Structure formats: C-alpha cells, structure tokens
Chains A and B, each alone.
Chain A
Amino acid sequence: MIPIEHYIVFSAILLVIGLMIVLIKRNVIMILAGIELILNAANINLVAFSQHDPNLSGQMMSLFVIVVAVAESAVALAIVYQIFRHQEVSNVDKLNELNG
C-alpha cells in the first residue's frame, strides 16, 4: 500500500504549483487552471485520507468538490468571457477598474 506521505507530498507539490500559477500568471484562464490544480490537490488529499475512513465521506466530499469546481469554472469562465468582451484584456493586472 502506498504510504500516506506520498499522497501528501504529491498533493502539496500540486498545491504549490497551483498556487504559484495563481500568484504569478497574468492570464485569467491560466489562473483558473491554477485554481483547478489547487482544488485537485485538495481532492487528492481528501481521497488519500479517506482510505482510513470506513464511511468514505472524504471521497464523497471530493466528488462534491469536483461538482463545485465545474460549476465554479463555468461561472468564472463566463465572467472572464464577459470581461474580455468589455475590456478586451485577459490580463488581471490591467483589470484595475475598482482600484481607487
């Protein structure tokens, strides 16, 4: 059986990669992708820890997360599309309309 540490390390790497993408990348689409990575890192953790859970509620939760992630990315993509249509940018730094 694969020890739990491997999952954790893997999910941590995935989290950091996702986080880095979110923090560094300017492109909105890429940021959404980064968010997906973070969510998936969480999912991996949920799944991995649910091995020791007879109720498998962790796996249930991961499924829930996936559903939410799909919905979220659909909404987010719609917003991004709308922003792109209005502002013709996809770069988050240029989106400073709310900046005083």
Chain B
Amino acid sequence: MATDHLLTWLIFIPLIAALVMVLVPQNKAHVHKWIALVAMGLATTLTLVLVFSFDSGLEGYGAGSLQFSQQLDWISLSVGSFGSLSIQYYVGVDGLSLALVLLSAIILLIGVISSWNITKSIKGYFILYMVLSSSVIGCFVALDFFLFYLFFEFMLLPMYFLIGIWGGKRRAYASIKFFIYTLVGSLLILMVMIGLSLSVVQELDSSVHTFDIMKMMYPENFIPGSLLSIDFNGLFLGLTYRGWAFILLIAGFAIKLPAVPVHTWLPDAHVEAPTPISVVLAGILLKIGGYGFYRIAYTIFPDGALQYGWWIALIGVVAIVYAAFVAMAQADLKRLIAYSSVSHMGFVMLGMASLTAEGSSGALFQMFSHGIISALLFLMAGVLYDRTGDRMIANYSGLATKMPLFTVAIIMSFFAALGLPGFSGFIAEFLVLIGAFDGAVNGGIVEIFMPILGLFGLVLGAAYFLWTIQRMFFGKFWVKEEGWQLPDLNTRELIMIVPLVLLTLLFGIFPGLLLDLANETVMGFVDFVKTQGKQNLEIINALAR
C-alpha cells in the first residue's frame, strides 16, 4: 500500500530538512525559514492523508488495532548466556496516537510561522527545531520501548539549546532546570525499561529479549519468575516490583506532563523560552507525558493502573485546584498561562485514571484541545511581548481601546481556555468530569469528591482568566512606559491566530471529528486495562496470600 511508509516519512521529513539546512550557508536566512515551512507543511499534509485514510472502525486494542505499522529488525545484540536483545524499528498508530500526531503537525507548523521573526542565528535555530519536530512525531508513533525512549531523550537536547540560546534573561537557569527535571524523569523510565527488557521475551522459551510494547502488554510474554513478571514473588519496601515499575513510569511521565508537585520547571521554561518554543512546549511536549501514561504505563502495567489509579486521580485533582490558585496570584502573563497549563493537565490525569470511555476520551480531547488553546495563549502573550518586551499584567490597562482585534482574539482564547461551550476546552472538561463522576458512582477507581473538586477548578479557571482580561484590557488605557508602540495584530499574527481559533471552534462544535477517530481505540484501551488488570491482580494477590 502507498500509505505503508507514511509514518517513516513523517519522522524523516524534518530530519531531511535539517540536513538540507546544514548545507545551506548561514547568511541565507529566508531559505532556512522556507525550508522549515515547506517541510512542516508537507508533514501536515501527510498527516491529513493519514487521518483520512485511517480506518476508525477497527476495533480492539493492541497489535491488531494498529494501522500504517511498519516493523523492522534494527539492532540485534547477543549477550552471552543472557540471550539476545532485539531492538526493532516498530512504528504504527492507533486512533489515539493519530490524534496526537495530527496535533503535533498542526502546532509544529504554527510554530514555524511563529518563528519567522527570530533573528539570532537562524540556521542553528531551524535545524534544532527540525530535529525536535522529528523526535516529537517519532515519540508518538514508536511502538518499541527502546525506540520510544530514544525519541523521548532526543527531544531534550534541541529543547535545551532552543531555550538556552534563544530564551529570555534567565534562560540559562530555566534551560538547565528543564533539562535536569526531564532527565530525572527519563532516568526513572529507563530503569523500568531495563527491568522490562530483562523480563520480556519475544516468544516463550526463546531467549530473545524484546522491547516491543505490544509484547509487554501480556503477562504470557514475561519469563516466568522474572523480575517484572506477575508471578515474581518478592516485595520491595512492601510493594511488588511491578507496582514499583508502574509508579516509576508514572513519576517519570508526570514530570513531563507536568503534575503537581513536579511542575515547577514549566513556568520557568515557559517564561524564558521564545514564543514559538513555548507554543511547542505547551502544545505538544506536555502531551507526551499524557501519551506515556496511555501507551506505556497503563498498557504495560494494567494491574498498576487499577491499584494506583486513585492516587493518580487525586494528584490530577490537586493539580487542577492548586495550579489554578497559583495562577491567580501570578503577576506575569506567561507564568499565569503556564500555571493554567498545569491546571489543565490535571484533567488529563483525572480522566485517564477514571478508566471510563468518557474519561479517557476526555483526557485525549483535553490533550488535543489544550494543545491548540495553549498554543493560542502563548501566541497572545508573545504578541504583547514582541511589542513591548514586558509581560507584567500590572503594566497594562485598557488595551481594548488600542488593540481591538487583539482583544477579540484574547477574549476568544481565554474563554476557550476556561471552557466556554462552543470551544473545544468545554468538551474536554465535560467529558473528563462526567467520566470521572460516572466511574465514581458506578464503582470505579475515583471517588465522587474528585470530579466535584474538578468543577471547583472550573470556577477558579474562569476567575483568573477573566480577572486578567479585566485588569489588562478593560478600563482606561494606560501602560507603564509612554513610548510603547501598540499596533494591532498584523497579518502574520492573524495567520497564526485565526486558524487556531477556528480549530478550537471546529472541534468544540463538532467534537465527533476527533472522538470518532479514537473511539474504538479508547474503548478497546479501557476494556483492556480493566480486564487484563483484573486478571493480573488476581494472580498477584493469590501469590501474595
């Protein structure tokens, strides 16, 4: 089929673009820009082809439900008496990951447009940006744990430089903080990956150890009695090794998400990063945390999902409320938006943990919708910062009289973010909360107080966003420095903002466009986690007794 290699193309187009850029001399700035734009435009087109040729009726979850998949042997290492390690180049998408690939393509394209007014060493910037794009997409389509980890780590480096070189005043601090935080997260994941590779074999009685996630799903593929198999009889600090592995994975991905209390890299990274990088960071990189929950943690350790789901939901709810309060007290617009991201990501955790079709769809929808809305919000902050170099809320007042178009845009994006019906954020929050509530009432993992606290978070969200509008845009016009020039939105900004606004409206009014794509996958996923988790738990508990 013609679509067989699409995913590989998707990963490699940005890399090829980066290689081409290496060959183009430094002083041809606009050539670099256009190469990046064309590459991402091509990637977006390919993604759309993927979306339209995707069969959303395919039922189930696991290897059978994957489409456009491609599986090649990559590295085969034989390690003495241990057997051999097989690392595969294994890519493929199901409904959920396809949605996130679509999001990445959109946001990365917008990010390129937003990068148009970067002035410092353009060549290096766009090469790094392309490398980042490639690894982001790779992360969402990789199905081999090793490959996933490779892309996951590979993302760090360009990000570190993009913040550290093109960032604001405290960029050195922010970038190193981002780097160390994420590195700690990935170390936790690495530990589990090594443990898994020790335990999982390609076929029973063979000694070929594999990183294939689709193999790791089923306890049959674990060597009986090995460290992470369900019949391993041993505890570490009172928990089974599988339990620890699940917790480590969740912790690792929670840093990326980010969840309270490991979220503090986010505000700094966002404040210091240049606008397009903030957009990419909030729009896509955070979603990899949520995606990791789904693809890695919940899929490989469904028993852990049932055992510790309550705590995940609790952390999610705490994040929703706590980050909303913190956001309310911020004086810096970008920090406020950053904390609102933390608050919104709490919904992803809550929805994921509820293990209902509504909750999980809601979590996916929240990832998608927040990707678009946060991109929009950071673009807004960038618009103001480009004009004045100042992001303090208190330094502006009554901007509506000077910048009417900008005000309309910001009112739309703020209301989208606070979940006004008609925008995609509402669907996401509604589905997460109704799923959590449904789960709570009908004997699920979460409890009733959690969605109710989540509702409370909605009011707080409205409060800090509207308060910001009231302080910055309404009232008499006043800004701190008289010399500030405040022209209204220009064409380039409109090109970025209008499509995003239209997208959030589109998905807010026709949520089926996205939900139907992923519905079968989500149902299969929830079903898989519940049944497989229950089976695993029964064996584990029988052993413990």
- Complex: A in contact with B (CB within 8 Å): no
What residues of chain A have their CB less than 8 Å away from a CB belonging to chain B?
A: none
